[in-house]
A and B are shown apart, each in its own frame.
Chain A
Amino acid sequence: MKPNNRKLLTVVTESVLEQILCDELMELGASGYTVVNARGRGSRTVREAGWDTNSNIRIEVVCESDTADRIIEHLRERYYENYAMILYIADVAVLRPEKF
């Protein structure tokens, strides 16, 4: 792996989890994250961004691949069963590897 290759982990989930998830991400070794509001449709029906209780967020984390694995494992274990959550991962190149 070239030194500036990292994983981009994207989580789409319920906004009620935002605070908890972000804390957990940092505990699991992420160096930062980006959260945006999202809306869309999935197996747990349409999620509108109209108001708090029913809205979604998209969290993006750029990190080393072993950190990404840890986060994935944690999310799968804790949230998959009961929460609306979509997770996907991509390879990205970063310009300042020392930040991630």
Chain B
Amino acid sequence: MDPVIWFFLLGVVAGLFRSELRLPPAVYDLLSVLLLLTIGLKGGVELARQPLGGVLPQAAAVLMMGFVLPLFIFPVARYLGRFKRADAASLAAHYGSVSVATYAVAVAYLGTKAVTFDPQLPVFLVMLEIPALIAGILFARGIKKDTRWGALAHELFLGKSIVLLVGGLAIGWLAGPEGIVSLEPLFFDLFKGVLALFLLEMGLIAASQARSLRDHGLFLVAFGILMPIPLACVGALLGWSLGLSVGGTALLATLAGSASYIAAPAAMRIAVPDANPTLSLTGSLGVTFPFNIFIGIPLYLSIAHWLHRAGS
């Protein structure tokens, strides 16, 4: 197991025992900025090595998947889970959207297994963040006049993660492999260390969800563990049919199986205020994130291996 995951466990344990441990909010912010920029830069540099033409149709397909995934999730939450409409819509938005931290752990995991992946994956990460949020809003309220689309569009497209990922991609692409050399020590060499610290704080935050997990019961746990697997299979199938490598297929599966806990809560709070915010957050952060980093990611890599063996 990759040692960075132990930092997450350390955070969870410290949080459950109510340790005083706490990263200052500004440090957590900086760590997330570093992670997002690193992922963007890395993708941009790799993209600069090859023509962009082939990436666009793939990106369009991935964007479509972003709209389609919530169509599976919403009915499960609404009719199997018997959540009220707003909550089911919010869950669909959270689980349809993506988690950058899960992606980063998956990248680290592929690194330890020496599995390479395609350079356009960060582009897919950007593509997958927003569609599910729009779908979730539409599930919850349809197209109503009083929706503040202006404020919402601002929240969706100018959120921190989109700006930093797209900015990193652009800078990496413009600078190219040679130009980026002087930045490598901060962004690339420190990646694992930054991720370890980030996961420590994630563990603390996940532990703080433990109490609301008790309140929301078994279905949420089952949903948080079982929902990602079929979603990841859809991602893996798409990755495989787009001709991605084994690593790329595993990463796209991870993206599909991951649940957002930063962009989605903020957007849903503004657009669907009657949804219970702790419900979705507890599911995505308290259940699905730990599940994915411990069990999901290795599982998705095996699925990717299996698909490529079966397909060849």
Q: Which chain A residues have a beta carbon within 8 Å of chain B's beta carbons?
A: 14, 16-17, 19-20, 48-55, 79, 81-83
Contacts and interface: CB of A to CB of B under 8 A. Distances in A.
B184 interface: no
Contact of B270 (A16, A51, A81): A16
B22 interface: yes
B282 to A, nearest CB: 12
A52 B204 CA distance: 14
Interface stretch (B34-42, B101-109, B260-268, B298-306): B260-268
Nearest to B268: A16
A11 to B, nearest CB: 16
B205 A50 contact: yes
A7 B148 CA distance: 30
Give the contact-size bracket for chain B.
Answer: 20 to 34
B266 A53 contact: yes
Contacts of B281: 53-54
Contact of B262 (A19, A53, A79, A81): A53
Given A16-B266, A19-B151, A50 B274 contact: no
Contacts of B277: 53
B151 A53 contact: no
A53 to B, nearest CB: 5
Interface in B118-155: 148, 151, 154
Nearest to B272: A82
Interface in B3-25: 22, 25
Contacts of B270: 16-17, 20
B245 interface: no
A48 B209 CA distance: 12
Nearest to B148: A20
B241 to A, nearest CB: 35
Interface string B200-220: 010011001000000000000
A78 to B, nearest CB: 9
Given A19-B151, A20-B151, A50 B22 contact: yes
Contacts of A20: 148, 151, 270
A98 B57 CA distance: 60
Contact of A82 (B22, B261, B266, B273): B273
A14 B269 contact: yes
